[in-house]
Amino acid sequence: MPAEPTQVLLTRHGQSEWNAQGRWQGHADPPLSPLGMAQAAAAAPAVGPVDAVVASDLQRARVTAEVIAGVLGVGPVVVDARFRERAAGEWTGLTRHEIDLAWPGYLEDGRRPPGFELDSDIIERVLEGLHAVHERWQGLRVLVVAHGGVVRAVERQLDLDDGLVGNLGARWLAVHDSWITPGERLSLVDPSQVSVTEPQEL
């Protein structure tokens, strides 16, 4: 018989210090802002009961996961680098204005700089991570705290595009042995407390 699917809530982290400044983060590792810490605590009730919590190794995701896990009484958080944000290459640490000055027209045309991790690269490791979660917690409910670029790459792989993902935005996924079924997109915090920032790889 096929294995029971694992219910995964794939979630973006709380606001980071660089989110607040409008800077592209990629693999850089700025901490959560005070608002991000508050968002993480406020999100826990909306997450509901889970059997495990997994996080990207970048601290904005890991700390978000630790705060939620602490409120829910679940843990320890399992850290998995496969869920880290896409690399932003030469745009790491820059604002949109700075990018427009140095690379005019790139953002509007969808072009990216050297070192930028494309969907085809990020999706391979993220799907590997999701199936590893399924193998370990088959048939259970797992919170995975990652990044906006990760959530959107998975959605595009599943032929979905519901727009940008705010801090603590999330997507339910049913992870089967060899495929994934998308569920509801939701926000785990009051939308009035979230600023959705363009571009998504912040």
Helices (H) and strands (E) in the chain, counts: 7, 6
**Per-residue pLDDT at 75:** 87
Distance CA 200, CA 202 (A): 5
Active site residue 13: yes
CB 99 within 8 A of CB 76: no
Distance CA 103, CA 113 (A): 8
Sequence ranges of the domains in the chain:
6-87+118-193
pLDDT along the chain (202 residues), means of 10: 90 97 96 96 96 98 98 96 97 97 95 92 96 98 97 95 92 97 95 53 46
Beta bridge partners of 175: 6, 180
SS3 (DSSP) at 121: helix
Active site residue 27: no
What's the predicted TM-score (pTM) here?
Answer: 0.93
**Per-residue pLDDT at 200:** 45
Catalytic residue among 4, 17, 27, 85: 85
Q: Structurally, what CATH architecture does the domain formed by 6-87+118-193 represent?
A: 3-Layer(aba) Sandwich (3.40)
Tokens 């993480």 belong to 40
